[in-house]
A and B are shown apart, each in its own frame.
Chain A
Amino acid sequence: MLLIRNGRVLDPASKTDAAVDVLLDGERISKVGANLSAPGAEILDAKGLIVAPGFIDLHCHLREPGQELSETIETGTKAAARGGFTAVCCMPNTHPVNDNASVTRGIVERAAEVGAVRVWPIGAASMESKGEALAEIAAMKSAGIVAVSDDGKPVATARLMRQVMDYCNSLDLPVIDHCEDPSLFAGGVMREGPQSLRLGLQGIPAQSESICAGRDVEVASITGARLHIAHMSTRGSLEYVRWARKQGLRVTCEVTPHHFTLTDEDVRYDSNYKMNPPLASRSDRDALIAGLADGSVDAIATDHAPHHPASKDVEFDRAPFGIIGFETALALGLAELVHTGKLSLMRLVELFTTGPARVLGIERKITAGEPADLTLFSTDLEWTFHAADSPSKSRNTPFDGRAFRGAPMAAIVAGRVAYRR
């Protein structure tokens, strides 16, 4: 038994914000209340800390199988635990692609052996994510996938999207799309705008994303399936999501910490500023923050995308897209959204917990009988992020050396302390 005492419990599901204790018994929460006592229980003093439901990351790349030079399930989940995450959804663009049950089972088994936090795989929508034949989605669901996506690329055509959605609807799985129009993307490396013109870097117009988001919500209106827009970065895409919801469609979306923190004006000839979707204009960034505040955005997801240092230490246009993100996600949320007064602390917690849970069709709450997954964090601890200290195998982040106020303090997964600061 583990008794978490003296903390401030923030539970978005029940709108609880109270100084109560939480008693864990094995893998479940057994009691929530004021001044609990449990003789013999291990005590975790959470004085001055927030006690929240376990954080869920809807979008990460653990690179196993196949790209273990950049990350493994072991190193990636350790970094996730340090970020306060208790469950992470890993994208299928591994080698081989997670497009069949044997790859899914391999990930699930490896995670059970070495994973510091829960690993919920996302299966490919199409075989090898090539945009042709459907992947073995039902078999992967039996093996443990929680959603499908051809992430890294959009689901290739509206027709394929329709088939994937119809099929996933019957299996009650959400379809996650990486929205991008390949012909407008056209080899671009950053957001098109004054800064791309100045740097002489090939630009990607914002509409490359929103055209595809528009296509997807239209297909969702044919199928009625659950659609989730990954790493949304533009005002245009957000407007399509809002429109879809007004029609009663089951459309959700996520935003990454780097997209609500940085803009294209921050881009330099440093591949740590190269990600896909690229950093957006200031106006799009502000629209995303408004969406995070007003409920239009469902989740903050990291898109943790490790690349080993040699692959990133190259010319900007030759570097792969993506940055690591687990350990800075909460601190950036606090710095950019809560300390600035744009979001309440409860809303931020929702974006890491009940929001992503709702996308996956599950619940997340601090109530007796629920899984004992909890995230403890401080809103005012001062610390500096050093990428060199990360358990991740990669160091690709623009936030190396950034000073923060507020940090993850513990991640508790199935009643076990996976990380304690």
Chain B
Amino acid sequence: MLQRLSHLLGTEVLSHEQILFLLDQAKPFQEFQRHPLKKLATLRGKTVAIAFFESSTRTRISFTTAAARLGADTMALQAESSSLKKGESLIDTVRTLEAMRPDGIVIRHASSGAPAFVAERLEIPVLNAGDGTHEHPTQALLDALTIRDRKGKLEDWNVTILGDILHSRVARSNIHLLSKFGTRITLCGPAMWVPRALENLAPNLRVTHRIEEALEGADVVMVLRVQTERIHEPALAADEYIAGYQLTPARLRLARPDALVLHPGPIVRGLEIDSAVADGPQSGVLEQVTNGLAVRMALLYHLIGGAPTDAPHPAKDRSNASD
């Protein structure tokens, strides 16, 4: 029997079966995004608190839209307008939100572990929308969905992740998720951002600082944004990064001919990725965005809808349509 999730804190703690279940649940929601009327009544009457303690546009819009398409109401808290500016602690802020009786809370926070900290203290499901340099599990799930769609399966690929791995929660969540599916993962980027010790994070993980070596034989290339806001070290000159690590059409030719290119966004064209690659036929960037909606709908349905794991899928149940 599938272990029901009570929170989504990271992919490290998800089992192989739970990941496959969530991806399967997301599948009908992918098709649903093409419907002319994108509204279900599945979570009608439910409220999702969207608490973003760190600025974000795409993830916040994606979660808010996912909740809306399931029929749920949302209440939003944003760092800029919140009482945090007035010195309120995280725990007081989320307890205040909880007192308004939402059915779940989506948290993004600059501190690693903040969603776990909150989950230990609240009664409602907590969904991690990115915590510090720890995890960003919905990103890894939508990446997995994209890989499975484009390449026909999730198992046994060679995946290369390029960029500032040390400060990347996207990388950590992808490493933990993909390593449960026999993936051989290569991490590559400037040496101070890709320490050797990262090889301890999961099995079948290797570190190289030479991009040619990293790309050779890759089935999937994930390009990370260079996160200047999270870098404690003296910054590397942009020209130096571009020369050493930008994913260009020439470099992409070192990978398998059918290699898939992913990027979690927002893209800084001309820095970590050349526009020709970002917009090219191998790019899955826009599918990632659409798949993000499907994955987040599946998670909200599973965690907040409280349906049994063998219930009929809401996106296939026409009577569920709202209005």
Contact = CB atoms under 8 A, between A and B. Distances in A.
> Do A and B assemble together?
yes
A316 B114 CA distance: 8
A202 B111 contact: no
Interface stretch (B44-52, B129-137, B299-307): B129-137
Contacts of A201: 112-113, 132-134
Contacts of B200: 194, 197-198
A269 interface: yes
Contacts of A200: 112-113, 131-135, 169, 172
Nearest to A192: B197
Interface string A173-199: 000000000000011000001100111
A225 to B, nearest CB: 35
A318 B172 CA distance: 22
B112 A187 contact: no
A193 B91 CA distance: 29
Contacts of A186: 232
A199 B133 CA distance: 8
Interface string B177-209: 000000000000000000101101100000000
B90 interface: yes
A315 interface: yes
A310 B92 CA distance: 10
Contacts of B271: none
Interface in B73-93: 89-91
B21 interface: no
Given A186-B232, A193-B197, A315 B134 contact: no
Instruction: Determine the interface band of chain A, counting residues with CB < 8 A from chain B.
Output: 10 to 19
A201 B133 CA distance: 7
Contacts of A316: 111-113, 117
A186 B113 CA distance: 20
B134 A199 contact: yes
A351 B322 CA distance: 73
A313 interface: yes
A313 B91 contact: yes
B109 interface: yes
Nearest to A195: B200
A194 B166 CA distance: 11
Contacts of A313: 89, 91
Given A202-B232, A313-B91, A269 B201 contact: no
B201 A315 contact: no
Nearest to B113: A269
A315 B197 contact: no
A315 B90 contact: yes
Contact of B198 (A187, A197, A199): A197
A317 interface: yes
Interface in B162-179: 166, 169, 172
Nearest to B9: A269
Contacts of B197: 193-194, 197
Interface string A39-60: 0000000000000000000000
B232 A197 contact: no
Interface string A223-237: 000000000000000
Contacts of B111: 315-318
Contacts of A139: none
Nearest to B89: A314
A269 B115 CA distance: 10
Interface residues of B, number: 25
Contacts of B135: 200
A311 to B, nearest CB: 9
A199 B89 contact: no
Interface string A324-364: 00000000000000000000000000000000000000000
Interface in B94-126: 109, 111-114, 116-117
A293 to B, nearest CB: 29
Contacts of B201: 194, 197-198
Nearest to B111: A315
Interface in A197-213: 197-202
B146 to A, nearest CB: 23
A197 B166 CA distance: 7
A245 B267 CA distance: 57
B129 to A, nearest CB: 15
B109 A315 contact: yes
Contacts of A318: 111
A198 B10 CA distance: 11
Given A199-B134, A200-B135, A314 B90 contact: yes
A345 to B, nearest CB: 38
Given A193-B197, A194-B201, A197-B200, A317 B117 contact: no
Nearest to A269: B113
B137 to A, nearest CB: 13
Contacts of A198: 12, 172, 200-201
Interface core residue of B91, B112, B166, B169 (most chain A CB under 10 Å): B112
B109 A187 contact: no
Contacts of A199: 112-113, 134
Interface string B130-174: 011111000000000000000000000000000000100100100
B203 to A, nearest CB: 13
A55 B238 CA distance: 58
A317 B89 contact: no
B131 A314 contact: no
A315 B114 CA distance: 6
Interface in A138-164: none
Interface in B208-234: 232
A187 B133 CA distance: 14
A318 B197 CA distance: 25
Contact of A197 (B12, B90, B169, B195): B195
Interface in A272-290: none
A313 B94 CA distance: 13
Contacts of B114: 315
24 contacts: A186-B232, A194-B197, A194-B201, A197-B166, A198-B201, A200-B112, A200-B113, A200-B131, A200-B169, A201-B112, A201-B113, A201-B132, A201-B134, A202-B232, A269-B112, A269-B116, A313-B89, A314-B90, A315-B109, A315-B111, A315-B114, A317-B112, A317-B113, A317-B132
Interface of B: 12, 89-91, 109, 111-114, 116-117, 131-135, 166, 169, 172, 195, 197-198, 200-201, 232
Give me the 4 closest cross-chain CB pairs, A-B, nearest first: A269-B113, A200-B134, A315-B111, A200-B133
